[in-house]
Amino acid sequence: DIVMTQGVLPNPVPSGESASITCRSSKSLVYKDGKTYLNWFLQRPGQSPQLLTYWMSTRASGVSDRFSGSGSGTYFTLKISRVRAEDAGVYYCQQVREYPRTFGGGTKLELK
Amino acid sequence: EVQLVETGGGLVQPGKSLKLTCATSGFTFSNAWMDWVRQSPEKQLEWVAQIKDKSNNYATYYAESVKGRFTISRDDSKSSVYLQMNSLKEEDTAIYYCTGWGFDYWGQGVMVTVSS
């Protein structure tokens, strides 16, 4: 199975600042079509996860352009610009390159 | 408006069975690949199963931890997906989410507690 490992944020993050969340995969997530099969989710307290980006850097419908995904085949970053109160929660990365789909352990974002 | 509503959760003894239902609306269900994802009490997300659409022969995939015990199925005429869970174990205790369209759509989740 592909293991997904997420970094820790130096919490809390001051409102208005930027935050970068990292994720590493044990195997390249680049498929033969050239796409990188990495999703990012945000789970706010008491809510279901929400898809933020897919194919590593494509924002899901309705997602603010303050969220941007980037990376290589095995190392990924989700950058959140001008952090706001509504961005607080736990962020998860997920690989959909292979079965079984696997998630990272989550990174908590708290705001100051 | 897209809606996914899970039902069928509850408290069940180890070794027993439970069937979850996810009723959907607001999108073209027949074309959607549907998944079940669960979240443990420790908040870890775990992908459980996927069923593809008719054009992909309704292919199914499972996490190793549930293979042989859980069965995912769908009824396109009812825009619903199901998870039959047999031989339940205490470690199956979790919130179970129905999700579709590449994990873009999620239900509110249903709690399954396996305990004697």
> B63: buried, middle or exposed (CB in 10 Å: 19+, 13-18, 0-12)?
buried
Instruction: Enumerate the residues of chain B whose CB falls inside 8 A of the CB of residue A50.
Output: 106
pLDDT, tens digit (0-9, with 9 covering 90-100), for A48-103:
999 999 999 999 999 999 999 999 999 999 999 999 999 999 999 999 999 999 99
Distance to chain B for A23, nearest Cα, Å: 15
Distance to chain B for A77, nearest Cα, Å: 19
Judge: A99–B43 Cβ closer than 8 Å, yes or no: no
Q: Categorise residue A87: left if φ over 0, alpha if ψ from -120 to 50, beta otherwise.
A: alpha
Provide the Cα torsion B100, B105, B107, B112; round to 10°: 50
The shortest CB-CB distance from A99 to any of B37, B61, B108 is to: B61
User: Rounded to whole angstroms, how far apart are CA atoms A103 and A92?
Assistant: 7
User: Rounded to whole angstroms, how far apart are CA atoms A48 and A51?
Assistant: 10
Please give the average per-residue pLDDT across B57-63, as a whole number: 98
Render the burial of A66-83: b for 16+ CB within 10 Å, e for the rest. ebbbebeebebbbebbeb
Residues 6+ apart with CB under 8 A from A62: none
Neighbouring-strand partners of residue B7:
B21
Judge: A99–B50 Cβ closer than 8 Å, yes or no: yes
Structure tokens at A108: 């908590």
Q: Does position A11 have pLDDT exceeding 90, yes or no?
A: no
Q: Count chain A–chain B contacts defined by CB atoms under 8 A.
A: 49
CA-based nearest residue to A102, from B30, B35, B10: B35
> A22: buried, middle or exposed (CB in 10 Å: 19+, 13-18, 0-12)?
middle
Please give the average per-residue pLDDT across B18-29, as a whole number: 98
Q: Does position A21 have pLDDT exceeding 90, yes or no?
A: yes
Give the best residue of B2, B36, B42, B47 to mutate against chain A (max A CB count within 10 A): B47
Judge: B44–A101 Cβ closer than 8 Å, yes or no: no
Instruction: Enumerate the residues of chain B whose CB falls inside 8 A of the CB of residue A99.
Output: 50, 61
Please give the average per-residue pLDDT across B45-68, as a whole number: 98
Neighbouring-strand partners of residue B37:
B47, B97
User: Rounded to whole angstroms, how far apart are CA atoms B3 and A27?
Assistant: 34
pLDDT, tens digit (0-9, with 9 covering 90-100), for B90-100:
999 999 999 99
Render the burial of B13-26: b for 16+ CB within 10 Å, e for the rest. eeeeebebbbbbee
Judge: A100–B64 Cβ closer than 8 Å, yes or no: yes
**In chain A, % of residues over pLDDT 70:** 100
The rounded mean pLDDT for chain A is 97
Number of Cβ atoms within 10 Å of the Cβ of B109: 21
The shortest CB-CB distance from B47 to any of A50, A90, A100 is to: A100
**Phi, psi dihedral angles at B16 (to 5 degrees):** -85, 180
